[in-house]
Amino acid sequence: MDFFKKATQKAKGIVHEHEAAAQGGGHQQQQQHPLSPQQLGPASAPVKVDNLITARVQPYGQQQSNFPHIFRDGGGGGTVGGKHLIIFADGMYTKGKPPTDPSLIVSFVSNSIAVAGEASSSAERKLTNVVDYGSSSRGPDLAVPFLTDQGEQVMRTAIWPNHNIAALPGSNGTRGVAFSEVIDRELFKQQKYALLYNTPIEIHIDGHSGKPTVTRKVKNLFNVGEPMFGSFCVVYPELMPQGSNNDGYLYMFGRVSEAKNPKSNGLKLARVRAQGYADRSQYEFWDGHQFGRQMPAKDDGGAANAFNWSSDVFGKQYGPGSGDVWWSPVYNEYVMLFQSAAAAIDDSLYLTHSKSLTGGWAKPVCIWKIPRFEDGYSYCMHAYPNMDPTGKTVPISWTQDSKSRSCRIHTGEVQFS
């Protein structure tokens, strides 16, 4: 079982134990009051990477929503229709306290989507405030729909977004695409390998309601045993250097996190013309030398990896878990921020950079230790470079999990100079 999924077992376990209670308790009226303002934590000391990049991290605190009693994880986002969106995995809406008791749960959704920044009074802290869509009695709406007519089951299947959202080339920024992973909850509860496939989703802003709307063209794109291209991240086409963002391709990374051969750990790369993002027959795959139609094996000793990385954790090797890649106008290189797949043990936020997506990545450097509760851990780190076109400040989020307080989204920013 992928260690990244093991690392979220405790957080998801709470959901699994209380799903039945969540189905029956949905008529409690909620008074909507904002959470207490969060105090900024101390900024980290600047870290110099290869005498090129200087980065420091300023934590913001816990994310706040117009629906205040939301406990959820996952994350990732992008800009669609002029709105900064963030998409989440499992979410529970409660009567106010953490969902450690079934009677506290009002509703549960497999995923949700919100608009970031609209409730913020500070342009520099857009990620700390989000507007969710739903109702005061039920909490957020489900964002990514289940295809029940094709075998997905609302309570057995999980659709977990843990990725960014990229504007679709040629859409003028009005349509975004992302690639969510689909999980078998019953296998997951048995601590078996539960990943089934990933699914391409398309997002637009409804012209009447202003609400982010998600559609699925196909059920599954890449399947268990294959690299989940796009589920690590899609490189933001609108942020790529002048010239390359007009080639019509989406460039998509898939992680290899816990291979039998640790040399396989890292990231594989694929590309596809914008109009073919939901059709795997139109994909081209990096084989270590060039793009072609043959998809590489997931565990190939790293031969086709665009980025090779593995870290020893108590005698076992783990690759990347979650992260993002973008072109930095500050350094004129691609920058990657990521967490290890062993996030439950390794608190490091790693940074690497390269002039090319296909290779030449610098040795990753830890620029910060992501905070954790004393009875939990932090995971699902994501960056939001689309929020600052100058590239000097990049907001980040992560899930801060706790046995006694459940899971919440926390935020900060990486400051580059």
Cβ-based neighbour number of residue 97 at 10 Å: 12
Tell me the per-residue pLDDT of 207-238, one tens digit each, with 9 for 90 and over.
Answer: 999 999 999 999 999 999 999 999 999 999 98
Query: If 0-12 CB within 10 Å is exposed, 13-18 middle and 19+ buried, where does residue 242 land?
Result: exposed
Q: What is the mean pLDDT of residues 261-288?
A: 97
Structure tokens that stand for 100 in this block: 């450690």
Tell me the per-residue pLDDT of 102-123, one tens digit each, with 9 for 90 and over.
Answer: 889 999 999 999 999 865 544 4
CATH 2.115.10.20 fits 3-22+50-416, yes or no: yes
Q: CA-CA distance, 319 to 267, in Å (whole number)? A: 8
Tell me the per-residue pLDDT of 330-379, one tens digit each, with 9 for 90 and over.
Answer: 999 999 999 999 999 999 999 999 999 999 999 999 999 999 999 999 99
68 has pLDDT over 50: yes
pLDDT at position 246:
62
Structure tokens that stand for 129 in this block: 């405030």
Q: For residue 381, what are the CA distances in angstroms to 36, 73, 91, 341, 372?
A: 23, 10, 17, 11, 12
Q: CA-CA distance, 54 to 214, in Å (whole number)? A: 37
Place 72 in a pLDDT band, splitting at 50, 70 and 90: very high
Q: What is the mean pLDDT of residues 152-178?
A: 95
Structure tokens that stand for 362 in this block: 């610098």
pLDDT over 70 for what percent of the chain? Answer: 87
Q: CA-CA distance, 408 to 124, in Å (whole number)? A: 21
Q: CA-CA distance, 261 to 248, in Å (whole number)? A: 35
Strand 129-132 with 64-65, pairing: parallel
Q: CA-CA distance, 147 to 46, in Å (whole number)? A: 47
Alpha-helix residue ranges (DSSP H) falling in 258-402 = none
> Which residues are paired to 387 by β-bridges?
none
Question: Do 148 and 83 form a contact (C-beta atoms < 8 A)?
Answer: no
7 has pLDDT over 70: no
Place 39 in a pLDDT band, splitting at 50, 70 and 90: low
**Backbone phi, psi, residue 91, to 5°:** -135, 140
Q: CA-CA distance, 310 to 328, in Å (whole number)? A: 25
Q: In Å, how far from its chain's centre is CA 230?
A: 11
Cβ-based neighbour number of residue 151 at 10 Å: 10
Q: CA-CA distance, 339 to 105, in Å (whole number)? A: 31
Place 245 in a pLDDT band, splitting at 50, 70 and 90: low
